[in-house]
Copies of this chain bind each other. A is one copy, B any other.
């Protein structure tokens, strides 16, 4: 049954998730001003699912139960589903200009579903049924799940089992009749705090020595022994400022990241999806990464849409919208953004069914998609900064704009002086101009730059990871044969 956004927020209050920030345990993290914007993003995935105009994108019929579910909990049944996933992500990017955090769960569902099928086929295990039962529970209760992959990794030159400190990769420390005990941590977890549940997956392909590290399972976010340490972001404490609004740029939405620590957490048998079958670790990683690289061809495009709109508004407000170079820069931003969208759509349209029956994206094109995402948002940001003008980083604070401290010879207040001197084209108020410039600041070098830039770079794997996949998937030998045939080489 679909929850409303409000119900989602209330459901979080019931969790006993342990969160640390700035050296303290945060008890009411649901209402914490630094955390709340990221919750609002997740909430949007519920709100839009209630909105009739988006029902086709936001919901789907469960392949497991036939019930209507949020698309984020769906197993893709066709290339059409894959394309709708991308469109849903673009929509959410447009509505939040942020990371809305629910994709990792969806991508984990689809990767674990097909991988467990193949493990069971080989080993006669029951991971696939475990997973189906688990997913039915998620779908039925419309829950948020953090799909967690990235371990801290320690010394990158060493395999998990060769690390000085084994905890740098999540691993099994005890095997019991009723389950396992795991230890370690997952880093850079975007949606961890706002999730009801976690699905843990291995972070790299593994060898036999790494058997204890080849583990996948689910657990609640407030499981005993599990806690989270909040990462700090550019401009995070602006959210703590009184009357924070204008200076935030985007006061309602935002992202977050946390380190999720597993301090000897017990996992019962029916929540285990991989447990030592090391040769499947790589498959799970590759599939999850593939889906997640597709995702970036949707979500970041939506965020790009908002930034393009903001740059266009800034041009209007600056009185520069008629300049041919400004128009051309907006075209270039649109062109780059739509190229990303093309990649998201193409790897979806070229998808194909897995052995388990759900649909997988085209792996080569999904990697090409993500590789472009490591480049174009940076250029879009650069062009936005160009159009916005320097005022975006030199403007006084909103407090100054509202201050009634007298500063001028004729008794003008500080607020009046600010308003006077930062007035621009007659089509907007000074405050409107401030708002749009602060929004652009937020996207380019404030809190949202973390999501739009650095996450575009490293989320779903750093650029070199995609290049390795492109090399593997590019079929260079077949291309050589094409060249030989035409050049007359036998």
Contacts and interface: CB of A to CB of B under 8 A. Distances in A.
Nearest to A431: B489
A453 B247 CA distance: 20
A110 to B, nearest CB: 19
Contact of A454 (B83, B385, B439): B385
Given A20-B405, A229-B400, A346-B349, A308 B237 contact: no
A29 to B, nearest CB: 15
A325 B468 CA distance: 11
A408 B432 CA distance: 48
A204 to B, nearest CB: 14
A146 interface: no
B325 A393 contact: no
A306 interface: yes
A341 interface: yes
Contacts of A66: none
B374 A334 contact: no
A341 B365 contact: yes
Contact of A309 (B446, B453, B480): B480
Query: What is the interface of chain A mostly: helix, strand, loop, or mixed?
Result: helix
A261 B417 contact: yes
B378 A382 contact: yes
A449 interface: yes
A320 B96 CA distance: 35
A458 B341 contact: no
Contacts of A64: none
Given A323-B464, A483-B439, A417 B229 contact: yes
Nearest to A375: B382
A94 to B, nearest CB: 5
A235 interface: yes
A328 B330 contact: no
Given A234-B441, A263-B409, A250 B486 contact: yes
B464 A391 contact: no
A438 B487 contact: yes
A83 B235 CA distance: 38
Contacts of A439: 483, 486-487
B155 A229 contact: no
Contacts of A407: 18, 20, 25, 227, 261
A33 B334 CA distance: 41
Chain B CB within 10 Å, residue with most, of A335, A399, A418: A335
Interface in A410-467: 414, 417-418, 420-426, 432, 435-436, 438-439, 441, 444-446, 449-450, 453-455, 457-459, 462-464, 467
A259 B401 CA distance: 13
Nearest to A250: B486
A7 interface: no
A177 interface: no
Given A23-B399, A157-B319, A97 B486 contact: yes
A165 B395 CA distance: 19
B436 A483 contact: yes
A30 interface: no
Contact of A386 (B152, B313, B330, B462): B462
Given A312-B476, A313-B480, A432-B489, A368 B391 contact: no
